[in-house]
Amino acid sequence: MAGTLPVRAEDVAEHLLAVREDALEVALDQQPVGEAAAGRLVVDAVDCPRAVLHGLEPVLSVHARVVMTRQVPTGGRVGYSGRWTALRPSRIGILQLGYADGYPWKLSNRAEALVEGRRVPVVGAVSMDMIAVDLTDTAAGLGAEVVLLGRQGGEQITAWEIAERAETIPYEILTRFGLRMARHYLQGGEVVETTSRHLA
Question: CA-to-CA distance for 122 and 110, rounded, in angstroms?
Answer: 7
> The pTM is what?
0.75
DSSP 18-77: HHHHHHHT---S----GGGGGT--EEEETTEEEEE-TT-----BEEEEEEEEEEE-TT-E
Residues 80 and 7 in one domain: no
Q: Which domain holds residue 46?
A: 2-59+181-195
- Give pLDDT tens digits for 104-113: 999 999 999 9
131 and 94 Cβ atoms separated by less than 8 Å: yes
With a pLDDT cut of 90, the percent of the chain lying above it is 52
**Shared-domain flag, residues 130 and 80:** yes
115 & 71 share domain = yes
Widest CA span of the chain, in angstroms? 61
Query: What span, in angstroms and rounded, lies between the C-alpha atoms of 86 and 94?
Result: 15
For 26-41, the pLDDT digits (tens) are 444 455 555 565 555 4
Element (H, E) at 184: strand 183-187
Structure confidence by residue, pLDDT tens digits, 153-199: 999 999 889 999 999 998 899 888 888 888 888 888 888 888 887 66
C-beta neighbour count of 177 within 10 angstroms:
18
Q: Is residue 7 over pLDDT 90?
A: no
Residues 130 and 53 in one domain: no
Same domain, 52 and 103: no
Q: What is the mean pLDDT of the chain?
A: 80
Considering only residues 94 and 197, tell me which one the structure prediction assigns the higher pLDDT. 94
Looking at the fold, whether 72 and 152 belong to one and the same domain comes out as: yes
Phi, psi for residue 131 in degrees, rounded to 5: -130, 140
What is the count of structural domains for the chain? 2
- Supply the CATH number for residue 91's domain: 2.40.37.10
